Amino acid sequence: MFRKRMPALTFVLAAVVLAAGLVPAYRPALAQQASPVAPTRAQAQMVVREAYDKFRNETGGKNADYIPVLAQVDSKLFGVAVATTDAQLMAVGDTDYSFSIQSISKVYSQALAMEELGPDVFFQKIGSEPTGRAFNSVFAVADMPTHTGNPLVNAGAIATVSLISAKSADEKWSKILDFYSKAAGERLKLIDEVYKSEAATNTGNKALSMLLAKYDRIYGDPFESVDVYTKQCSVGVTVAQLARMGATLANNGKNPWTTEQLIKPDNVPYILSTMMMAGLYDGSGGWSWKVGLPAKSGVGGGIVAVVPGKGAIAVFGPPLDEAGNSVKAQKVIEYIARRLDFNIYSPRSVGLKASAVASSK
């Protein structure tokens, strides 16, 4: 008796659910929606264009000049890209220009070191505390109990490079470049003139590395570690490649294009938490307050923001603020994050509308 009535009951229930609009009867572009939470192509395309048009004439900030070659980069260059966890890419502006990844590289060297050491050993050897100081601060190294601070400031990043296993500096460098290339899904290259310019002027980083040696917080040759670190900062990326690198983190460490599982899924939350806490250095608190997305900046003018489960936003615009973060990139990412409800601290980011909360009273 009960069994016989089941199909009818199921049908009635399904009709009620559909009528209530709880389950869409038809999902357009199902093939593109491999991720249940990624924005649709139409949504992403629209906001990328809007943001590009809104901020293309923004003139705030100044190119980095402590690495001489960066001062010569055209300040007007501007590119925006969104990459989703279901392997869609939307990009506008100077999308073919290859700029130096600079400090954004630190995130991927952290990921590589964590693959080898696991989160506990990595945390013990480097730490993940905000320094509240500039990214190249000597005071932070002297003052902080860990000395290394976190893997995203220069000292912590140089120590992170020293942790990556290799028989020679060349082997370490090619391992790092391979790893970044796999995150981007394309072969990346060193920008030789950036490397030479930085290698000729990086006395501050050499000092940081020697200071770490005094505290036993560097785990290989201090100058060799600085040299490999300088190379990693000189890797060239386009906004599209950078967005794909971000999407790999957003997608549990699996590149959505190549489908290679590059980073252990369990390591991803640790990496993103470090980015939220220190990705924009002494600007990280304000960034988290306004935007609520883990992100990383580089003095080359790039910023990548990761939207867990959904994708990544990458922006390139060389002029920087006082903390060393691209002015244009911050504005564009804040705009896109608001338009698409990406702030991870907002219940709206997972679809909970304010009206739904009010109606439960």
Per-residue interface string for the shown chain with ligand DON, residues 144-163, x marking contact by CB under 6 A:
----------x---------
What is the nearest approach in angstroms of ligand DON to the Cβ of residue 86?
Answer: 30
Number of residues that bind ligand DON (CB under 6 A): 13
Residue 205 lies near ligand DON (rule: CB under 6 A): yes
**Closest approach of ligand DON to the CB of residue 320, in Å:** 7
Report the alpha-carbon distance of residue 10 to residue 214 in Å, rounded.
71
The one among 82, 163, 176, 233 contacting ligand DON by CB under 6 A: 233
Q: To the nearest whole angstrom, how small is the minimum distance from the Cβ of residue 72 to ligand DON?
A: 16
Nearer to ligand DON, 61 or 253 (CB): 61
Q: Which two tokens stand for residue 79?
A: 């590119």
Q: Which is nearer to ligand DON, 203 or 360 (CB)?
A: 203
Torsion, CA 44, CA 270, CA 292, CA 32, rounded to 10: 10
Based on CB atoms, which residue is closest to ligand DON, 102 or 148? 102
Q: Name which of 53 and 322 has its Cβ closer to ligand DON.
A: 322
Q: Which amino acid is at 95?
A: T
Binding-site member from 136, 238, 274, 288 for ligand DON (CB under 6 A): 136
Distance between CA 154 and CA 229 in Å, rounded?
9
Answer for the pair 277, 321: CB distance below 8 angstroms, yes or no: no
Which residues, numbered 76-115, are part of the site for ligand DON (CB under 6 A)?
102-103
**Least distance between ligand DON and beta carbon 122 (Å):** 20
Binding segment for ligand DON (CB under 6 A), chosen from 35-43, 185-193, 294-302, 344-352, is: 294-302
Q: Where are the beta strands (DSSP E) in 77-191?
A: 79-84, 89-93, 99-100, 189-190
From 14-22, 164-172, 285-293, 295-303, span contacting ligand DON (CB under 6 A): 295-303
Q: How far is the CB of 154 from ligand DON (least distance, A)?
A: 5
Q: Which is nearer to ligand DON, 88 or 325 (CB)?
A: 325
Measure Cα distances from 51 to 131, 201, 304 in Å.
Answer: 32, 36, 15
Cα dihedral 328/298/267/338 (nearest 10):
-10
Contact 162, 218 (CB under 8 A): yes
User: Strand 99-100 vs strand 235-237: parallel, antiparallel, or unpaired?
Assistant: antiparallel
Write each residue from 235 to 274 as x if it is in contact with ligand DON (CB under 6 A), else as -, in one continuous string. Answer: ----------------------------------------
299 binds ligand DON, rule: CB under 6 A = yes
Q: How far is the CB of 121 from ligand DON (least distance, A)?
A: 24
- Residue with Cβ nearer ligand DON (39 or 318): 318
Residue number of the CB atom closest to ligand DON: 103
Cα dist from 274 to 58, 83, 129, 322, 325, whole Å: 29, 21, 8, 21, 17
Of 126, 119, 135, 108, the C-alpha closest to 281 is 135
Task: Tell the smallest beta-carbon distance from residue 91 to ligand DON (Å).
Answer: 22
130 binds ligand DON (CB under 6 A): no
- Burial tier of 359 (Cβ tally within 10 Å: 0-12, 13-18, 19+): exposed
Q: How far apart are CA 161 and CA 218, in angstroms?
A: 9
CA-CA distances (angstroms) from residue 70 to 11, 206, 325? 65, 20, 14
| Binding span for ligand DON by CB under 6 A among 45-53, 74-82, 244-252, 296-304 | 296-304
For residue 58, which of 318, 341, 324 has the smallest C-alpha distance? 318
Q: CB within 8 A of 112, min separation 6: which ones? A: 164, 175, 176, 179
Residues in contact with ligand DON by CB under 6 A are: 102-103, 135-136, 154, 198, 205, 233, 297-299, 324-325
